[in-house]
Structure 1
């Protein structure tokens, strides 16, 4: 059942507070599994981008553990170097990505990885930070660029992953967005379940084909003027659903 704006805002504010108090779990998030890279470095931007494009219908914690092992292994760490990966023999790239299971599919996922590395090399002078610099660090402009060149950003250019990826970049690199409010809710399964629980979607809507678009649109509308940015509610809702709504709001 849909609920009033005031009721939903009250509950989401309580949920954010519970998260800040550590009462939703999540002391370690999936992306916390990373090497000690300088946040401003190209290596950091590449590390938090390439595995994200493979984060589709799989356990996020396992993905980033695999990414970290891949980075720490001298035999496989060069897959995070766009120049090396773009020039690498296809079979060698496949073997390296499968070794620690950062890729689970032997053909499609290595191809996605290679495409992104080629994009970084050919369109961004070998440095993903140029995507941000050339677009004035504007979320709106970065998203527009990626949507206009969607084939160059496989999976990463999809609406759900793109928004969550931008949030991760803000959290783990030195990316600083003047228009961070343009990062919309990243409506994965957990966020959709929490959205239904909070009453911004009905159960039927959350299970329907337009669930992601509806959730993103309604959260954006509801949070206008609230002082909250849509992406700020992602992690509390994700953790709440993941814990099977153990915390009461």
Structure 2
């Protein structure tokens, strides 16, 4: 908990967190439609890991709702659906990939984004026996610890953006939520510290306003604070992500059970 005169106990903090989760479960925080919901009913289950992973690699400093709507449109177009197949994305000409990604506004940066897409696709192909995200996850035995070693240590350069602490952990959460992945070592999935998470963490009294500067060290400090605060509570840090994110977007309505 933040100090400087704060009298909040750890017990009170956990009670507030559980109230926040309850409010989300009761639909009191809005957000009935999340950004990734754009894929529901459009992308079949077997393609979700590839689509979620490649698109998530471009989910950096942009409107998530717009991104996922663009991804859905690109998938619906049978002539461009191939971009979500890692091997096809690796072996195509960069210009062809660029044209598709820009056309559907999946990519906003004409050079950097297609390069990232192709590098991530190559990382998937190199890390999987069948060139798919599902194969990569299976080869890691669906173990978060193994994926951390693969994507954030041994082959970090093959997964730009996606290997970063903010997107990596949210990607794990999205795969769990939308693709039904059951993770081993799930407790290692930390909260994904974007701007709303930083603001909500301050509002709950977990961190001081200093973290709102949003530096890499600030985000790491917030993620670590949540890991420590929830230890033994029955909640994993990532369980709090969506309630906290929606609470911030809603302007922090009062907590009640």
**Same fold, judged at TM 0.5 (above):** yes
Alignment of 1:50 with 2:34, yes or no, is no
1:91 to 92, 95, 109: 95
Deviations 1:26-57 (A, max 9, x none): 10111111154443x2x211011111010001
Work out the CA distance in 2 between the residues paired with 1:74 and 1:135. Answer: 31
| Segment of structure 1 superposing worse, 186-195 or 26-35 | 26-35
**Cα deviation 1:75-121 (Å, max 9, x = unaligned):** 32111111221111111111100112111100101100011112222
Map of 1:171 onto structure 2: 177
Q: CA deviation at 1:246?
A: 2.9
Q: Deviations over 1:171-195 (max 9, x none)?
A: 1113111321110011000000000
Distance apart, 1:247 and its partner CA: 4.1
Query: Mean Cα displacement is larger for which, 119-128 or 139-148?
Result: 119-128
Structural mapping, 1:1-249, within 5 Å: 1-2=2-3, 3-34=8-39, 35-39=41-45, 41=46, 43-124=47-128, 125-148=130-153, 149-207=155-213, 209=215, 210-249=217-256
The TM-score normalised by the length of structure 1 is 0.94
CA contact (8 A) 2:82 2:88 kept: yes
TM-score (norm 2): 0.92
Aligned residues: 247
- Does the 8 Å contact 2:43/2:75 carry over to 1? no
8 A Cα contact 1:30 1:60, kept in partner: yes
Distance 1:22 1:222, change over 3 A: same
2:107 and 2:166 mapped to 1: Cα distance?
20
Shift in Å at residue 202 of structure 1? Answer: 0.6
- Which segments of 5 or more consecutive residues in structure 2 lack a partner in the other structure? none
Distance, in Å, in 1 between the alignment partners of 2:203 and 2:35 is 24
